[in-house]
């Protein structure tokens, strides 16, 4: 599918439930319902924007299967699908593939590859990459420019490692792992101990294990373990500028949003969401399907399914009550001052 595509081409990609109306205008951009213009594709992903569909000027609009209301304008099509937001993601995947096609297999002449390294089939190794002794880059992997793969480290099948990433010695990356620019995987864990008035370093002799289908954001650091492994479970998505300390274990299909910080030996269960700037103290456990709100500081264990807010983090219900009380503090303060004046006058 080209960057400008017809309604027919679009429908071939997404296989809609039905289409009402028609458009001969090529679709070349994506726009919000309230600002889209002719030639744009728009979508109704949230029912609170339902009223904007009737006024939308996009040439095509993705609407949910149960949509009722306005009819398409002249030279406009409504495309009925189960989940418009997900359908848009499928379309964007086609666009992304056209804008950033997978580079051809081959090794750039500036790359440095150790003789003992194992390079699989259909691998792309970009400019100035360094592949260490006994490292493995598996079939179909893509290493963009300036990627370093350390001694005995493994990059799994069809993984994509973007520019400037450092995969340190003995780190193990599974299949279809996507690492964004300048992330560091397997650097020395932050381990020190006070001895006789000095600070002595504790050797960090473990590794990092990244399971299949994980995405790791730009500038994120995942430290290797003091012993055993720091581990990130299958399908987990990690945002930019996240710090994961040594011996942390993260379950499958978690979300770690920007600037999350995890101290060492913290365990996070499956399907957990850590919102932006959440901080987790070391040696605690976060239960399956828990949600930790933005900027929360978690000092102790969290039960499965719990939602926590604030710093120190507390349960959602209590946090909401305290927020209401905080908003009333100026009023309460004024009342107290008035009472003090009355008492002083007696």
Residues designated as active site: 246
Q: Is the dihedral of CA 94, 95, 96, 100 positive or negative?
A: positive
Residues with Cβ within 8 Å of 280's Cβ and at least 6 positions away in sequence, in order, are 260, 261, 262, 263, 266, 268, 274, 286, 292, 298
Spatial CA neighbour of 273 closest among 300, 294, 248, 303: 294
Residue 132: left if φ>0, alpha if ψ -120 to 50, beta else—which one?
beta
Q: How far apart, in whole angstroms, are the C-alpha atoms of residue 147 and residue 153? A: 13
Spatial CA neighbour of 97 closest among 151, 189, 169, 160: 160
Greatest Cα-to-Cα distance within the chain, rounded to the nearest angstrom: 93
Q: How far apart, in whole angstroms, are the C-alpha atoms of residue 59 and residue 31? A: 10
Task: Note whether 43 and 84 are within 8 A (CB).
Answer: yes
DSSP class of 42: E
Query: Is the peptide bond prior to 312 cis by the omega test (within 30 degrees of 0)?
Result: yes
**H/E run at residue 320:** helix 316-345
Task: Note whether 143 and 155 are within 8 A (CB).
Answer: yes
């Amino acid at each position: 599918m080209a960057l400008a595509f017809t309604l027919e081409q679009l429908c071939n990609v997404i296989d809609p439930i039905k289409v009402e109306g028609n458009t001969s205008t090529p679709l070349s951009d994506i726009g919000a319902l309230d600002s889209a213009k002719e030639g744009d594709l728009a979508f109704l992903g949230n029912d609170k924007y339902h009223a904007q569909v009737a006024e939308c000027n996009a040439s095509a609009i993705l609407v949910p299967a149960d949509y009722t209301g306005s009819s398409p304008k002249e030279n406009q099509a409504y495309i009925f699908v189960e989940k418009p937001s997900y359908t848009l993601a499928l379309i964007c995947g086609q666009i992304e593939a056209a804008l950033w096609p997978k580079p051809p297999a081959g090794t750039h002449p500036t790359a440095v590859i150790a003789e003992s390294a194992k390079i699989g089939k259909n691998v792309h190794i970009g400019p100035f990459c360094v592949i260490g002794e006994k490292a493995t880059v598996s079939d179909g992997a893509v290493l963009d420019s300036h990627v370093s793969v350390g001694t005995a480290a493994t990059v799994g099948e069809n993984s994509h490692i973007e520019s400037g990433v450092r995969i340190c010695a003995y780190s193990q990356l599974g299949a279809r792992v996507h690492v964004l620019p300048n992330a560091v995987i397997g650097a020395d864990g932050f381990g020190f101990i006070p001895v006789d008035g000095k600070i002595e370093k504790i050797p960090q002799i473990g590794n990092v294990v990244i399971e299949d289908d994980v995405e790791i954001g730009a500038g994120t650091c995942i430290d290797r373990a003091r012993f055993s492994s720091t581990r990130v479970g299958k399908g987990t998505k990690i945002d930019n500028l996240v710090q994961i300390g040594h011996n942390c274990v993260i379950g499958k299909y978690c979300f770690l949003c920007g600037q999350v910080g995890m101290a060492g030996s913290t365990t996070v269960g499956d399907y957990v969401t850590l919102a932006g700037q959440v901080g987790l103290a070391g040696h605690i456990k976060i239960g399956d399907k828990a949600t930790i709100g933005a900027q929360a500081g978690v000092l102790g264990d969290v039960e499965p399914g719990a939602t926590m807010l604030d710093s120190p983090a507390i349960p959602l219900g209590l946090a909401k009550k305290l927020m209401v009380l905080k908003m009333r503090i100026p009023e309460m303060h004024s009342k107290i001052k008035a009472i003090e004046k009355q008492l002083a006058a007696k």
